[in-house]
């Protein structure tokens, strides 16, 4: 709860966790991988923008054969959140923030 309070009023998501002496992302994909294997699923296509989820499952032996991007158009309410996810957490959000072509600004 403290991380959420800091996230809303002081820092962003990444910096709030670090300020509380947590790693920026405390998730462990071992249980998810175990569930996938228990269901005898051989491969998965993952709906995510987070490359760390793909890496996390792969490290536990889950064969990720593809990624389905979650396309979330930026708006006045989420643009800073999405930019933080892209810039600080490496989320794959090129669909939301396409690079400008020749003559455009970046």
Task: Report angle CA 74, 80, 83 to the nearest 5 degrees.
Answer: 75
Backbone angles phi, psi at 21, to 5 degrees: 70, 25
pTM confidence score: 0.68
Is pLDDT above 80 for 40?
A: yes
Is pLDDT above 90 for 29?
A: yes
25 is catalytic: yes
The domain segmentation of the chain, as residue ranges, is: 2-89
Encode pLDDT of 73-87 as tens digits: 899 988 888 888 888
Mean pLDDT of 7-11: 54
Report how far residue 104's alpha carbon sits from residue 106's, in angstroms, rounded to the nearest whole number: 7
If one counts every other C-beta atom within 10 angstroms of the C-beta of residue 85, the result is 21
pLDDT of residue 97: 78
Which among 15, 23, 25, 28 is annotated as catalytic? 25
Is pLDDT above 90 for 35?
A: yes
Q: Which fold has domain 2-89?
A: Rossmann fold (3.40.50)
For the chain, what's the residue count?
106
Which among 27, 59, 87, 94 is annotated as catalytic? 27
Mean pLDDT of 86-104: 73
67 is catalytic: no
């Amino acid at each position: 709860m403290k991380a959420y309070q800091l996230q809303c009023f002081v820092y962003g998501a990444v910096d709030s966790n670090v300020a509380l002496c947590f790693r920026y992302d405390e998730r462990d994909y071992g249980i998810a991988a175990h569930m996938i294997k228990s269901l005898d699923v051989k491969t998965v296509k993952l709906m995510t923008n987070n490359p760390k989820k793909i890496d996390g499952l792969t490290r536990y032996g889950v064969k990720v054969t593809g990624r389905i991007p979650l396309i979330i158009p930026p708006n006045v309410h989420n643009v800073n959140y999405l930019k933080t996810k892209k810039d600080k957490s490496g989320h794959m959000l090129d669909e939301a923030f396409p690079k400008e072509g020749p003559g455009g600004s970046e």
